[in-house]
């Protein structure tokens, strides 16, 4: 199973980009041994539409173009479920074992994700009730994906 993060907005050079890349590359090293085919990150340009609904619709169309048929769609949303790291790892492991072709994690823009796109998600995740900058959400997601791999591998990185 290939994992893909589709995020609205670009990470500029700096510590957030470096940390995101560190977790992505750590996952690649470990994930291949666990039957994952890699972890990609695709950045979608932020819409310049004047109104929030139009921005969300434009961004949703660009995101949908990145989601292949048969992929599990996971949205990051403040209204989503707050899963513990072990539960998250177990879910990824189940999808891998069920031979799901890919899992697409979606991080919306400043206005969030369109309601239509949120409804299409198989799972909606939240990193708590606080509002997080999108750059930090990407780092948090990539760290949790790496942590999930370490849990599945029985690696000591995760200590509960």
Segment 6-46, tens digit of pLDDT: 999 998 889 999 999 999 999 998 999 999 999 999 999 99
pTM of the full predicted structure?
0.93
Strands across the sheet with 39-44, in order?
A: 39-44, 2-8, 102-107, 72-81, 123-125
SS3 of residue 96 by DSSP: helix
Domain architecture of the chain: domains with CATH: 2-153 (3.40.1280.10)
Segment 35-85, tens digit of pLDDT: 999 999 999 999 999 999 999 999 999 999 999 988 999 999 988 999 999
Q: How far apart are CA 17 and CA 69, in angstroms?
A: 29
């Amino acid at each position: 199973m290939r994992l893909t993060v589709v995020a609205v907005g670009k990470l500029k050079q700096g510590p957030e980009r470096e940390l995101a890349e560190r977790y992505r590359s750590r996952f690649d090293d470990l994930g291949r041994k666990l039957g994952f085919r890699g972890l990609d990150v695709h950045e979608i340009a932020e819409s310049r539409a004047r109104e929030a609904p139009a921005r969300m619709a434009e961004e949703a169309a660009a995101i949908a173009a990145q989601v292949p048929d048969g992929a599990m769609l996971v949205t990051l949303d403040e209204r989503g479920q707050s899963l513990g790291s072990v539960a998250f790892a177990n879910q990824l492991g189940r999808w891998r074992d069920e031979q799901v072709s890919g899992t697409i994690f979606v991080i919306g823009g400043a206005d969030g994700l369109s309601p239509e796109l949120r409804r299409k998600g198989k799972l909606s995740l939240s990193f708590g009730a606080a509002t997080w900058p999108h750059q930090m959400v990407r780092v948090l997601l990539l760290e949790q994906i790496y942590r999930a791999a370490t849990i599945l591998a029985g690696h000591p990185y995760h200590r509960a």
